[in-house]
Chains A and B, each alone.
Chain A
Amino acid sequence: MNADDRALYGDITRKGLWENNTALVQLLGLCPLLAVSTSFVNAVSLSLATVLVMALSGGTVAALRTLIPHEIRIPVFILIIAALVTCLDLAFNAWLHDLYLVLGIFIPLIVTNCIVLARVEAFAAKNSPLAAAWDGAAMGVGLLWVLALLGSLRELVGAGTLFGGIDMVIPGAHALQVFGEHYRGLLIAILPPGAFIFLGLLVAARNAWVARAQARASRPPAAAVSA
């Protein structure tokens, strides 16, 4: 891997995880995101399935991009994504059944997530298969950390636990009772409005962070001028 490639993949990673984060910046694909982020385990499960689908569809579309006529690219992209998700769903059900019981309901949901089509159209159609697969994975991981945080917050405030339902993934593991047995939970955090409230707080926190970083970056030259 030469320096040029390293710069490209580093750039893709940084954009996926932070600068162009699907959940915090692009605000794309919020429908499954808000529905599923009621707990840490659900949120991470959906994101993992999304990482897989996005990497796979990005790579496939990029590999076929020279064969796809420009004017019919959208139907072909949708066809490819839907076919891949269907195959993935069947394959999980057949050969990874335990994992399927956890991720299964989320996989068909991914087809409805416009972020997959958005990345295929914006990136995979113009780049090499490897870079496109990497972009899909990076965007997916960007979704993963935000969803994990959102899921944890909602679960913590709503039920007073962390990692509830982990026994579905790791048999024998238990949820953490953070606020003790007697915490009744703030129900709204788990209900749909809670998703909007907590997502809004996360977006605000990111914006504040970025604004502060920019202010700090622009200050030293100004100081130099006045001195």
Chain B
Amino acid sequence: MSEAADRPDPAPAEPADAIEAPGAAGSALRSAALLGLFTLVFTALMALTQDATREPIRASVEARRLELIAQVLPRADYDNALLEDTVTLPVLPALGLSEPVTVHRARLGGAPVALVFEAQAPDGYSGAVRLLMALRADGTLAGVRVVAHKETPGLGDYIDPAKDRASPKWIAQFAGRDSADGARWTVRKDGGDFAYMTGATISARAVTRAAGRAAAALAPVRDTLFALPAGSSAEPAFR
């Protein structure tokens, strides 16, 4: 190995700089040009990498999305291209999100199966809790998952099944609930139907109420939502 030869290199270039001082302007120009060259080369490297990775990344993001949806709606329940069969909801207060929400429409042999969409609980213990929900064509919920939250670790985070140590998971009780049962959509402490953990009621209450609100808002218009052409806006359903 030849590394030993160039290893001792204690004072890099400093004396040389001092000698070059008279031509300082030239040296500055040379540095600027070199810096520009380095920027060009490494930007090109990043651009090439981005180009080469664009397609695989798109594919894996899509696969990840389908995996997430599979947690609220089993894959065997539908056979259409869920990510393409969508309508866009206008901003609805009941969904708790400030941007338009995309609804995926699951179908089996062309028949409506479920609507998959995101909603948000604005009133978690430490900020908003983002939910992914699936509402079946018969008006019951197929499932709810917490996709993003900032609840206290070890206390309120049992709403996230990955952190929930109970069995069955707290979030599992949403499956099969009827969206028409308005008043029952809160924790038992408030007279509702949902279990919660003592000492961390706020997180559970926020999620249950938000899920109830969102389900109640979309259930009445579900037939219209299924009938709209793919890719269209769902504005007409809410007139």
Contact = CB atoms under 8 A, between A and B. Distances in A.
Nearest to A100: B60
B60 A93 contact: yes
B154 A101 contact: no
Contact of B57 (A68, A70, A93): A93
A190 B153 contact: yes
B9 A38 contact: no
A4 B154 contact: no
A2 B4 contact: yes
Contacts of B13: 69-70
Interface in B16-54: 17, 27, 30-31, 34-35, 38-39, 42-43, 45-46, 49-50, 52-53
A93 B50 CA distance: 11
Contacts of B52: 94
**Interface range, A side:** 35 or more
B168 interface: no
Interface string B63-80: 110000000000000000
B57 A94 contact: yes
Nearest to B34: A69
A86 B46 contact: yes
B35 A75 contact: yes
Contacts of B45: 83, 87
Given A93-B53, A94-B57, A187-B152, A130 B46 contact: no
Interface string A68-101: 1111100110011001001100110111010011
**Interface range, B side:** 35 or more
B7 A127 contact: yes
A4 B4 contact: yes
A90 B12 CA distance: 34
B64 to A, nearest CB: 7
Interface class of chain A by DSSP: helix
Interface core residue of B3, B7, B31, B46 (most chain A CB under 10 Å) = B3
Contacts of A190: 153-154
A185 B154 contact: yes
A173 to B, nearest CB: 14
B6 interface: yes
Given A38-B153, A79-B38, A83-B45, A128 B56 contact: no
Contacts of A2: 1, 4
Contact of A131 (B7, B17, B34, B50): B7
B3 A94 contact: no
Contact of B53 (A1, A71, A76, A91): A91
Contacts of A130: 1, 3
B38 A76 contact: yes
Contact of A70 (B17, B42, B43): B17
A1 B1 contact: yes
B191 interface: no
A16 to B, nearest CB: 17
A62 to B, nearest CB: 10
A59 B12 CA distance: 17
Nearest to B16: A70
B99 interface: no
A158 interface: yes
Given A79-B42, A93-B57, 14 more contacts: A8-B4, A69-B34, A80-B38, A83-B42, A86-B49, A87-B46, A87-B49, A90-B49, A90-B57, A95-B56, A97-B56, A127-B3, A158-B154, A187-B153
24 contacts: A2-B4, A5-B1, A5-B4, A8-B4, A68-B38, A69-B30, A71-B31, A76-B35, A76-B38, A83-B45, A86-B46, A87-B46, A90-B49, A91-B53, A93-B57, A94-B57, A94-B60, A126-B10, A131-B3, A131-B7, A158-B154, A187-B153, A187-B155, A190-B153
